[in-house]
Amino acid sequence: MIGTKEKAGASTSTSGDDVEYSRLSKEKEIQSKRTDTVPFCKVFAYADSTDYMLMFAGIIGAIGNGLCTPLMSILLGDLTNSFGDNQNSDNLVPAVSKVSLNLFCMAVGAGLASFLRKYSCINVTHLIVLRVVWHCVI
């Protein structure tokens, strides 16, 4: 009998303080689940001159890599034209060889630009992350 009254009293007793405490605990739980974000420009506060140089090299590599696709289309068009223009002449092999060499040089340049872009971006992010961890955690 005594246990029944305690259960009934516990289920019906709701005061304003309990509701306020419940609301505050839910807000704290939501805030603890949120991750703190940092503005984009704040990340560059940890960069030094080497990082800026690598970022510049990465941007140049990205521009070079992006220019290779239209350049490849132009060179492949020239290659096709060299076949058509020299169809019945003895100049076919030298004309095709000249355009093929240009296409090969463009492919080497695209590979170097792609390597520069990836290498620079990976190293910059690695260095900045290490500095942020060193500054904030250690």
Interval 90-121: pLDDT, tens: 888 888 899 999 999 999 999 999 999 999 88
| Structural domain harbouring 78 | 40-136
Same domain, 58 and 106: yes
Gap between the Cα atoms of 65 and 70, Å rounded: 10
* Three-state DSSP class for residue 86: coil
Same domain, 131 and 103: yes
Same domain, 56 and 117: yes
Q: What is the pLDDT of residue 31?
A: 65
Q: What is the pLDDT of residue 40?
A: 75
- With CA atoms as reference, report the closest residue to 58 among 132, 123, 11: 123
Same domain, 80 and 20: no
Q: What is the pLDDT of residue 101?
A: 94
Residue 90 half-sphere exposure toward CB, CA atoms < 13 A: 0
Tally of structural domains, the chain: 2
Are residues 24 and 32 in contact, defined by beta-carbon separation less than 8 angstroms? no
Q: What is the pLDDT of residue 14?
A: 55
DSSP type of residue 35: P
Same domain, 131 and 65: yes
Gap between the Cα atoms of 94 and 82, Å rounded: 10
Same domain, 25 and 46: no
Q: What is the pLDDT of residue 83?
A: 86
Same domain, 6 and 56: no
Same domain, 56 and 124: yes
Same domain, 67 and 11: no
- Residue 98's H or E segment, with its range, is helix 92-136
Q: What is the pLDDT of residue 2?
A: 55
Same domain, 28 and 88: no
Same domain, 18 and 47: no
Same domain, 72 and 95: yes
Q: What is the pLDDT of residue 73?
A: 93
Positions of the chain with pLDDT lower than 70, given as ranges: 1-17, 19, 30-38, 138
